[in-house]
Amino acid sequence: MAAPFPGGGGGGVAVMAGPLTPLDPSPSKTCLKNSALKSPILIFLLFHKAIRSELDGLHRAAMAFATSQASSADIEPLLERYHFLRAIYKHHCNAEDEVIFPALDIRVKNVARTYSLEHEGESVLFDQLFELLNSNMQNEESYRRELASCTGALQTSISQHMSKEEEQWEFSVLG
């Protein structure tokens, strides 16, 4: 799947490696089906589904890498997927921080700061993951397990964060 990067001027294209899982465009929450179907928040829910899908695929790929006898050169496709996910997630978080959270903060005081802090924590997890990926540990026995563990921690943190956001959005939509 390829998607152009906006505003780059260079016409770059991002390629998502791995199998594509079709995304169900229908919202899963009852309140969203009834009251916010035409809301822009639906776009964020679709991004959440896509991010969850890619996190799941990355974790499975990291687990397969950890248990295989593949050479360390075989990490390159994983590395590309990590970079792609980080870029997409960073843009998604920026959009939430700049658009969604300030609007939400009007209805529920101080919620924006909490979610923004969680974004910062997830950024730290990405930094730790990339430190590991760029380290000299790649030939050590524990490297593959550590990579799978870091990927799992990132998946858990982001999934929990997005679930909390969705619950907050549901609460705010129902008022």
Domain residue limits, the chain:
44-66+75-174
Q: 44-66+75-174: CATH homologous superfamily? A: nmb1532 protein domain like (1.20.120.520)
Q: What is the pTM of this model?
A: 0.75
CA separation (Å) from 28 to 25, 34, 101, 111, 122?
9, 11, 21, 23, 25
Q: What is the residue-wise DSSP string for 115-150?
A: HHHHHHHHHHHHHHHHHHHTSGGGGSTHHHHHHHHH
Q: Report residue 173's pLDDT band, with 50, 70 and 90 as the boundaries.
A: low
First to last CA, the chain: 38
Q: What is the pLDDT of residue 110?
A: 82
Q: What is the pLDDT of residue 112?
A: 87
Q: How far apart are CA 29 and CA 42, in angstroms?
A: 11
Give all strands (DSSP E) within 40-173, no chain letters: none
For residue range 60-117, list pLDDT tens digits in order.
Answer: 999 999 998 777 767 889 999 999 999 999 999 999 999 888 888 888 888 888 899 9
pLDDT score of 35 more than 50: no
Give the count of beta carbons closer than 10 Å to the beta carbon of residue 83. Answer: 14
**C-beta of residue 115 within 8 angstroms of C-beta of residue 161:** yes
Rg (the chain; Cα; Å)? 18
